[in-house]
Every structure is written in structure tokens, then in C-alpha cells.
């Protein structure tokens, strides 16, 4: 960032922080975006006059509600439900639901804010939203998850709809949870509509939606690598997480001839120098999606190293794919990655790198693809699911995958257009922030002060 704008960024952030106290992740996400946008808005005064930045950081609507349910022992449990309807300038609110004990207003506002720019980058007509609950699915029976999700939807249903707000999955929300929520919505509204994405393929889901975020993050990395004449072939890759995004990122890296050597969960990481091939990955999918066990069991089964309580960023790699959660790469870990020869970071997760870590990547001019660009493949295929639902048709795997691949290539091109510096370095942070902003800002201008 050019220094002349520092004071303006600080003044803007002081207002945001005063208005939204105790929402540190939201402050972090807004800060990163306005650092890119304030210089751009200065050059384009129509946005400044219409106070687009002041409006874009204010959610259109925030819903917070009680979610009571009864556990298997007959005990009453109470969780908190949220839906942040952030911006509907270019389409219905769209974004995932997260069920995790750490969920709070600030985390969901950061995710909803990022979603606005991400969805715009896909070029599909989707506004931004996010929601979820502090419910912890770990250790809960299927019946408990069902009762909780039914109670959650019993309030949420009155606020969403296929032309209003279309939720999907995120951490802790996969096919099982979407199924229970869809069933409850249908029952309450007496309507079979595309109100959620990530549905099962037999009842309106799109092929490739489960794969889309992980595949997309790898397609994006592939485009970044191409700018330096490189590819995944023969490349060592570290992946964090072992959920939906991590699993399909690993699958795509294998397909492209790379070798994934790590996976993790919130307890620790495994290091398998021989590589997590498709057969081992199938075990991971069973372990995580069916047994719902811990990643340590992989190390027990395949006799590799397991490191308790740590993340995989100390392992030497050329490409790193953070696919677990926010702030999972510290400044020190970013330095270690660069020192070990990592040349490419493509963020499957949302905001996985702390701001000081982002500076390390940018100062070293490595290929750094921020989440709102790199992981947009998931919501892009959600958008394609909405299209298929509206048409009452479904496309083949090949059709959806080809569209996903094209969208990721286009997002890369948009980042290059808005993020290329005079020395040829592509700052994908600026590229994604400005590239995502323009369409939303122009739509807001056209729609007046609303
Ligand atoms: P899953 O719930 O399927 O998997 C999450 C993984 O991350 C698990 O391995 C989990 O470990 C780990 N994890 C979660 N929270 C923490 C934490 N606080 N510390 C350490 N590890 C943690 O979620 P997804 O794979 O869907 O989501 C992963 C990331 O990708 C998130 O940042 C999400 O926002 C982002 N994303 C997801 C999209 C999607 O389509 N699903 C789309 C775009 C982005 P454990 O099992 O121990 O909790
Ligand atoms: O962060 C994300 O983009 C998601 N969790 C997916 C959202 C969606 O609507 O598919």
C-alpha cells in the first residue's frame, strides 16, 4: 500500500472498529480489503461520493436467533443461530452455514463480507451472506444433529428463499446437514425449491459441488504456477485440514501429478513423505465422512508421523494449500514456508493467513492466492446448482467441471488485470479485492441509496 493512503485507511478502520467492537476477524477482513480499495476509490470518485465503502461494510440485515433442541439424554440444549445478509446488489444473498463452537457474530460477518467480493469474482449473479451456529457437531449422534438442524431451520426458513437468500455448507455443514435442513424447509414451506445448495444429487444437487472448492483452489494454483512456467507435476504439496475442501484438493493434486504429504485436523497433523495417494485418500474420506474419526488414525494405519497440536507449515513444500480455517498460518509459519522454498500458496480456507503472514508472502513476491479468489470454486458451483434448479435440468460431471475450470481461469485473469504491478508481479490480494468490488459497487450506484 502506498503510504499516502495509510491515514485514510486508519481513519476508516477507526470508525469500523468503534461501530463493531469485539469483532476482530471482521476488522481484519475489512482492513485487508480497504487497503486495496481506498487508493482505487480515490481514483474513481463516483464511489467515494456515493459512500460505497461505508455502505459495503454495513450488513443489509443481521439475524440472531435462539436454537433450542433436545439431546439424546432428554436434556434441553440451547445454541445461537445467525444469518448475515450482507449485500444483495448483484443477486440473492448467497453463502455457507458454519456449525462450530467458535462461531460468533464477528466471524460470520468476516465470512459474509469476504463472500460479497468472492461471489462477484465468479461472474455469477449472487450477493453475499453467511450464517451458522455455535453448535458443535463433534460427538453428536445423527439424531441429535437432525433435531438441532430442524430447530435451526424452523427459524431460518422465514428469512430465506430461492430468490432471497440461498445458504450452503461450510465448516461442520456437509451433505448430511444440508439434507436435514432441506427436509425441514420443504415441510415448513410445502415447496420443493433450490433454497439450499450442496444438495444430494438425487434431489436437486449439482454434480461436482462437493469437489468444487478443493478442485477450484488447485485450478487457481495451476494458473498461478503457469505464470512462472511451472505446474503441479512432481511438486510436493502441504495441505491443512482433512474435511471437504482438503480432501478434494488432495484428489486434484494427485490427478495433476503432484504429491500431497500432509493433512491435519484441530488436534494435529500427519506427515506422509510417500504421499497421500488415491487409495489412502479414500481411507481419509471414510475416516472423516463416515467414521468421523481423528486424523491421527491415518498415522496409526499407515505408520507415518503424527504431530500433536501443530500445523503442517514446517514441512518442506513448493505449494501450500491451507484448507482448514481462519488464521492458521502465522507470520512465523509464513516465513518458514518461504525459507523452505514454498513458491505458491492457494487458500482453500477463508482468511487462513494472518495479516503479517500475507505481508511476508507479498514482500517475497511468491504466488499468493487469497481465499476470496482461490476458493471461489465452491460458491461458483453453488451458483451453477441454482441455475440447474431454475431450469429443472442437470448437467453432467464433465459439463460442470469444465464450467468450474473456466470460472477459475477467469478469476485468475481478473486478478491479473487489477493486481499486476509495474514490475510484472501480480498482487492477487489487490486483484481480487478490486476485481470483486467493481461490479458490486457499480450495481450499488445504479440502484441508488439503498
Ligand atoms: P469441514 O468441516 O469439512 O472441514 C474442516 C477441517 O478443518 C477439518 O479437518 C477440521 O478439523 C479443521 N478445522 C476446523 N476448525 C479448525 C480449527 N479451529 N483449528 C484447526 N483445524 C480446524 O469444512 P470445509 O472443508 O468445508 O471448510 C474448510 C475451510 O474452507 C473453511 O475455512 C471454509 O470456510 C472454507 N471454504 C469452504 C467451502 C465449501 O464449499 N465447503 C467453500 C469455500 C471455502 P476438526 O475435524 O478437528 O474440526
Ligand atoms: O465460503 C464459501 O464460499 C462457502 N462456504 C460456500 C458457499 C456456497 O454458497 O456455496
* Ligand nearest to the Cα of 296, by number: 1
- 305-326 average pLDDT score: 98
Ligand 2 binding pocket includes 168 (Cβ within 6 Å): yes
265 C-alpha to ligand 1 centroid (Å): 9
424 C-alpha to ligand 2 centroid (Å): 31
- 204-221 average pLDDT score: 98
Question: Tens of pLDDT along 370-401?
Answer: 999 999 999 999 999 999 999 999 999 999 99
Atom of ligand 2 nearest to the CA of 126: 9
Ligand 2 binding pocket includes 382 (Cβ within 6 Å): yes
The whole-angstrom separation of Cα 365 and Cα 425 is 7
Mutate to test the pocket of ligand 2, among 170, 197, 241, 371 (most ligand atoms within 8 A of CB): 170
Ligand 2 binding pocket includes 379 (Cβ within 6 Å): yes
* Ligand nearest to the Cα of 199, by number: 2
Ligand 2 binding pocket includes 351 (Cβ within 6 Å): no
Whether 208 has a pLDDT exceeding 60, the answer reads: yes
Catalytic residue, from 118, 130, 252, 280: name it. Answer: 130
The rounded mean pLDDT for the chain is 98
Whether 43 has a pLDDT exceeding 60, the answer reads: yes
Give me the count of residues in the chain.
450
Q: How confident is the model at residue 3 (pLDDT cuts 50, 70, 90)?
A: confident
Whether 159 has a pLDDT exceeding 70, the answer reads: yes
Task: Give the residue whose CA is nearest to atom 3 of ligand 2.
Answer: 379
Atom of ligand 2 nearest to the CA of 382: 10
The three-state DSSP-derived secondary structure of the chain is CCHHHHHHHHHHHHHHHHHCCCCHHHHHHHHHHHHHHHHHHHHCHHHHHCCHHHHHCCCCEEEEEEEEEECCCCCEEEEEEEEEEEECCCCCEEEEEEECCCCCHHHHHHHHHHHHHHHHHCCCCCCEEEEEECCCCCCCCHHHHHHHHHHHHHHHHHHCECCCEEEECECCECHHHHHHHHHHHHHHHCCCCCCCCCCCHHHCCCCCHHHHHHHHHHHHHHHHHHCCCCCCCCCEEEECCCCHHHHHHHHHHHHCCCEEEEEEECCEEEECCCCCCHHHHHHHHHHHHHHCCCCHHHHHHHCCEEEECCCHHHCCCCEEECCCCCCCECHHHHHHHHHCCCCEEECCCCCCECHHHHHHHHHCCCEEECHHHHCHHHHHHHHHHHHHHHHCCCCCHHHHHHHHHHHHHHHHHHHHHHHECCCCCECHHHHHHHHHHHHHHHHHHHCCCC
Whether 1 has a pLDDT exceeding 70, the answer reads: no
Q: How confident is the model at residue 2 (pLDDT cuts 50, 70, 90)?
A: low
Q: How confident is the model at residue 211 (pLDDT cuts 50, 70, 90)?
A: very high
Ligand 2 binding pocket includes 216 (Cβ within 6 Å): no
- 242-257 average pLDDT score: 98
- 415-443 average pLDDT score: 98
Q: How confident is the model at residue 270 (pLDDT cuts 50, 70, 90)?
A: very high
Task: Give the residue whose CA is nearest to atom 37 of ligand 1.
Answer: 170
What percentage of residues in the chain have a pLDDT greater than 90?
99
pLDDT of the residue at 421:
97
Atom of ligand 1 nearest to the CA of 172: 2
Atom of ligand 2 nearest to the CA of 375: 3
* Ligand nearest to the Cα of 265, by number: 1
Question: Tens of pLDDT along 101-134?
Answer: 999 999 999 999 999 999 999 999 999 999 999 9
324 C-alpha to ligand 1 centroid (Å): 4
Domains of the chain, each with CATH number or no CATH? 61-192 (3.40.50.10860), 212-369 (3.40.50.720)
CA separation, residue 434 to residues 89, 111, 283, 374, 417 (Å): 16, 18, 41, 15, 10
To the query of whether residue 130 is one of the catalytic residues in this protein, the response is yes
Whether 402 has a pLDDT exceeding 60, the answer reads: yes
Amino acid at each position: 500500500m502506498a503510504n499516502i493512503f495509510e491515514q485514510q485507511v486508519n481513519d476508516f478502520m477507526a470508525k469500523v472498529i468503534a461501530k463493531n467492537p469485539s469483532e476482530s476477524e471482521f476488522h481484519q477482513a475489512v482492513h485487508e480489503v480497504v487497503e486495496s480499495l481506498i487508493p482505487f476509490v480515490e481514483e474513481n470518485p463516483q464511489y467515494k461520493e456515493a459512500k460505497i465503502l461505508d455502505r459495503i461494510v454495513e450488513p443489509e440485515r443481521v439475524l440472531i436467533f435462539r436454537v433450542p433442541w433436545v439431546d439424546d439424554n432428554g436434556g434441553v440444549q440451547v445454541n445461537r443461530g445467525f444469518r448475515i445478509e450482507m449485500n444483495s446488489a448483484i443477486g440473492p444473498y448467497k453463502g455457507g452455514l458454519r456449525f462450530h463452537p467458535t462461531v460468533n457474530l464477528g466471524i460470520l460477518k468476516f465470512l459474509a463480507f469476504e463472500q460479497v467480493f468472492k461471489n462477484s469474482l465468479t461472474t455469477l449473479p449472487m450477493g453475499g451472506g453467511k450464517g451458522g451456529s455455535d453448535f458443535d457437531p463433534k460427538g453428536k449422534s445423527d439424531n441429535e444433529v437432525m433435531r438441532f438442524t430442524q430447530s435451526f431451520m424452523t427459524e431460518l426458513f422465514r428469512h430465506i428463499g430461492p430468490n432471497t437468500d440461498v445458504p450452503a455448507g461450510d465448516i461442520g455443514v456437509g451433505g448430511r446437514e444440508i439434507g436435514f435442513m432441506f427436509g425441514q424447509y420443504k415441510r415448513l414451506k410445502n415447496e420443493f425449491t433450490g433454497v439450499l445448495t450442496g444438495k444430494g444429487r438425487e434431489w436437486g444437487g449439482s454434480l461436482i459441488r462437493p469437489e468444487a472448492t478443493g478442485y477450484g483452489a488447485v485450478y487457481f494454483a495451476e494458473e498461478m504456477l503457469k505464470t512462472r512456467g511451472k505446474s503441479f507435476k512432481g511438486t510436493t504439496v502441504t495441505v491443512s485440514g482433512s474435511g471437504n475442501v482438503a480432501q478434494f484438493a488432495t484428489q486434484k493434486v494427485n490427478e495433476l501429478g503432484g504429491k500431497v504429504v500432509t493433512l491435519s485436523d484441530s488436534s494435529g497433523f500427519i506427515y506422509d513423505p510417500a504421499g497421500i495417494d488415491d487409495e489412502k485418500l479414500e481411507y481419509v474420506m471414510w475416516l472423516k465422512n463416515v467414521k468421523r474419526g481423528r486424523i491421527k488414525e491415518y498415522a496409526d494405519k499407515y505408520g507415518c508421523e503424527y504431530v500433536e497440536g501443530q500445523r503442517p507449515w514446517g514441512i518442506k513444500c513448493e505449494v501450500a494449500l491451507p484448507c482448514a480455517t481462519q488464521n492458521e498460518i502465522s507470520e512465523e509459519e509464513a516465513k518458514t514456508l518461504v525459507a523452505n522454498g514454498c513458491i505458491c500458496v492457494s487458500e482453500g480456507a477463508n482468511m487462513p493467513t494472518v495479516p503479517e503472514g500475507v505481508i511476508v508472502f507479498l514482500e517475497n513476491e511468491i504466488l499468493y492466492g487469497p481465499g476470496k479468489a482461490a476458493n471461489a470454486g465452491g460458491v461458483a458451483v453453488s451458483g451453477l446448482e441454482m441455475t440447474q434448479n431454475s431450469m429443472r435440468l442437470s448437467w453432467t460431471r464433465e459439463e460442470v467441471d469444465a464450467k468450474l475450470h473456466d470460472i477459475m481461469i477467469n478469476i485468475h485473469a481478473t486478478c491479473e488485470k487489477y493486481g499486476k504491478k509495474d514490475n510484472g508481479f501480480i498482487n492477487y490480494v489487490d486483484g481480487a479485492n478490486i476485481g470483486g468490488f467493481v461490479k458490486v459497487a457499480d450495481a450499488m450506484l445504479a440502484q441508488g441509496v439503498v
